[in-house]
Amino acid sequence: MTPEALWAWIADCAAPPLVMGVLNVTPDSFSDGGAFLDAAAAVARGMEMLSEGADLVDIGGESTRPGSKPVDAAEQIRRTQSVIAALVRATGCAVSIDTTLAEVAEAALAAGACVVNDISAGRADAGLLKLVARRRAGLCLMHMQGTPATMQQQPTYVDVVAEVGQFLSERRAAALAAGVDPARILLDPGIGFGKTLEHNLSLLHSLRDLTGLGSPLMVGASRKSFIGRILDQPDPGQRVHGSVAAALWSVTNGARVLRVHDVRATVEALRVWRALGGEPAMA
C-alpha cells in the first residue's frame, strides 16, 4: 500500500484490516533476532512480506523484548536507514519506523518511512511528537507499563482495560496538542509490554472497549510469550497458529491493523475470515 492510500484505508471500516509485517534489523529480537541484521537480507525479507500480502512494513533497529537494553540513536540509524531507503525505492510501499527516539525517526522519515511507531507513546523523547507533527507523518502510540528492561518484573493494575484506555486517551491528547494530524494516529494496547498472561487476555477480551478512543486500533500479539504460555511452546517460531487465532480475534473485536511476523499465514486467514463475512464489531 502506498503512504498516500494508507490512512483513508485504515479509517474505512468496510475495508479489510491491514497487515503490518515486522522486520527487526537487530541481533537480539525475541523471535527473529539476527536473521535480518544484514541489510540485503533485511530488504529481501521486506520484499518477501510485501509479496505475501503485507500492506506496510515496520522496521526496527532496537529489540524491546523484556530485559533488553536501549540501543543508541546512531546504531539504530545505522541498522535501519539504508534498509528503509532501499525498500521504499524498490517498492514505494508504506514503511513505519519502530523507535522511541526523534533522531532515529527523523532519519527514517528522510529515508522514506511515513509512520513512526513509538512504544513509549511519545514519553521517551520530548521531540518525537513535534517531529511527527512537523513532518505530517503517521504515528502509533502504544501502551507500556515501565520500560523494556524491567516491565515484566511485577506488572500491576487495578483494572487493566480501563487504565490502558485512560493512558491511550491521554497520549492521544498529547499528540494532538503537539500538532499531530488526528487522522494519522493509531492506538495500540501494547500486548506483552508490562503485562501478565491475565492482563494480555483481559485486553484482548475487551479490545472492543478501546475502539471508542477516537483513533483506530493496532494490535501486536504475534508470537508473543502469552501465546507460548497458553500453548506451552517456548519457541516463538512455533507460535504461528496461536498468533493467527489472536489476529482473527483482534480484527473481529475492532483492530484495524495487525502487527505480525507471519504475514502469509495471517493474510490467508484474513481472506477466509472475510469470505465468511468477518467484520469488525465496534464499540
Left (φ > 0), alpha (ψ -120 to 50) or beta: where does 136 sit?
left
- ∠ Cα 55 254 125 (to 5°): 65
CB of 211 to ligand HH2, least distance (A): 16
Q: Give the active site residue among 259, 264, 271, 274.
A: 259
Closest listed residue to residue 32, CA positions, set 261, 242, 266: 261
CB nearer ligand HH2, residue 65 or residue 239: 65
CB nearer ligand HH2, residue 60 or residue 254: 60
CB nearer ligand HH2, residue 125 or residue 188: 188
Q: Give the active site residue among 45, 224, 239, 256.
A: 224
DSSP 8-state code for residue 99: -
Cβ atoms of 246 and 214 closer than 8 Å: no
CB of 103 to ligand HH2, least distance (A): 18
CB nearer ligand HH2, residue 112 or residue 190: 190
- Max Cα separation, the chain? 48
CB of 12 to ligand HH2, least distance (A): 21
β-partners of residue 23 are: 59
Active-site annotation holds for 69 = no
Q: Which residue has its beta carbon closest to ligand HH2?
A: 220
CB nearer ligand HH2, residue 14 or residue 189: 189
Cβ atoms of 282 and 254 closer than 8 Å: yes
CB of 64 to ligand HH2, least distance (A): 4
Closest listed residue to residue 85, CA positions, set 128, 42, 34, 145: 42
β-partners of residue 18 are: 257
Active-site annotation holds for 130 = no
CB of 260 to ligand HH2, least distance (A): 9
Cβ atoms of 248 and 270 closer than 8 Å: yes
Question: Using CB under 6 A as the criterion, which residues of the chain lie in contact with ligand HH2 when the complex forms?
Answer: 22, 24, 26, 29-31, 60, 63-65, 98, 117, 119, 140, 142, 188, 190-191, 218, 220, 259
C-alpha to C-alpha distance for 168 and 148, rounded to whole angstroms = 18
Catalytic residues: 224, 259
